[in-house]
Structure 1
Amino acid sequence: MQQQIQSALTSSPDSLPRQIAQQLNCSELEVLKQLPKDMVAFLEREQLEPLLKELPNFGKMTTIIQAGELIFEVKDVFPKGRIGHGYYNIGDPNSHLHGHLKLENIAHIALVSKPFRQSESHCFQFLDAQGHNLFKIYLGRDKRRQLLSEQLERFQAWKSNAQSFAEQ
């Protein structure tokens, strides 16, 4: 499988990891593990709550939730949250995104820096134990479609404290 993923990444460098995973009938995590080290790093599971508490400070980003062929995007501040009743409950007046995250179901946190449609792109990906993507949060852009520099600095700081999958 590793060789097939590498071949797909080489032949279609603009493909999203999810597209490659669907094409090869594997998990998105398997694809992410094959990306070059400068494109992906993984946070320790213990960093999940601190990251979720930091995300509202990033400003407007794009949260993507994909279920089958349905793709939902919310371009807004990631909401503040708190633990309660077995969930991380998100929602505050500064965001239109509200919901409940079952933290125990988030097994992997990937920080991915991979070009998409010839544009620099960076996102946080939250995956379950089977390596399937639960949701993604992409850094925001200004009116000229340029990445927001403050968000990129924050993202790079988190990524510099993360590690490659091989180091885990």
Structure 2
Amino acid sequence: MSIDAGAPGHAALTALLASDPGGVLEDLAVRHGVTLREALDCLPVENRSAVAGTHFGEIMADVTGWGEVTLLVNTGDVILECKGVLPSGRFGRGYYNLDGGPVGGHLRADRCAAIYFVRRPFMGHDSQALWFINHDGQAMFKIFLGRNPDRSLKADQVRRFRDLRDRLEP
């Protein structure tokens, strides 16, 4: 799951992210004429890894046991965040249906092409998140690890994130 590093925009974005991996990737992707997925692939390898979207159900089921996380959707016009425990879900009628609140909804799992495990600085803090990317190379949504009152990441979630990544990586 890598990009053509010789394509226009990729080399400049790769160089920029090598020196500062903490920018808003959606904005950087637009500015460099690449998809968000291509922008993710421009991050240094230590900041990202990806698995196939076929792991959607397995990943969602695992995250339900992580405690409070932040679900984020960025449409370009709106960045919407919801903090809470991700409820269990089930497949039905073409969707992965989240059973409960405050996080609930219907997700088109079949549109998920890849899931990225992203670890990078953002706004002065360490950040770790799962980025669910569709077949168009854009974000469906992201799940960010929870934070302690001092803004540090929750250690148990960091461990679970790492363990899940290590188990699923090819």
Q: TM (normalized to structure 2)?
A: 0.89
Tell me which residue corresponds to 1:54.
Answer: 62
Q: If each structure's strand is expressed as a fraction of its own residues, which one has the higher value?
A: 2
List runs of 5+ in structure 1 lacking aligned partners.
none
Tell me which residue corresponds to 2:113.
Answer: 107
Tell me which residue corresponds to 1:27.
Answer: 35
Q: Give the 5 Å matches for 1:61-140.
A: 61-92=69-100, 95-140=101-146
Q: How many residues align?
A: 162
Q: What's the CA shift for 1:47?
A: 1.6
Contact 1:8/1:20, CA 8 A, preserved across alignment: no
Tell me which residue corresponds to 2:3.
Answer: none
Matched residue SS, 2:21: coil
The whole-number CA distance in structure 2 between the counterparts of 1:38 and 1:13 is 10
Matched residue SS, 2:60: helix
Runs of 4+ in 1 over 6 A off after TM superposition: none
Q: Could you tell me which amino acid in structure 2 is paired with residue 4 of structure 1?
A: A
Contact 2:69/2:84, CA 8 A, preserved across alignment: yes
Identical-pair percentage: 28
Q: What's the CA shift for 1:66?
A: 1.3
Matched residue SS, 1:126: strand
Render the CA deviation track for 1:15-43: whole Å, top value 9, x for unaligned. 12222112112111001112122110112
2:48 to 37, 40, 46: 40
Q: What's the CA shift for 1:103?
A: 0.9
Q: What's the CA shift for 1:70?
A: 0.7
Deviates more, 1:103-112 or 1:4-13: 4-13
Tell me which residue corresponds to 1:141.
Answer: 147
Render the CA deviation track for 1:45-65: whole Å, top value 9, x for unaligned. 332111111111011011001
1:13 to 10, 21, 32: 21
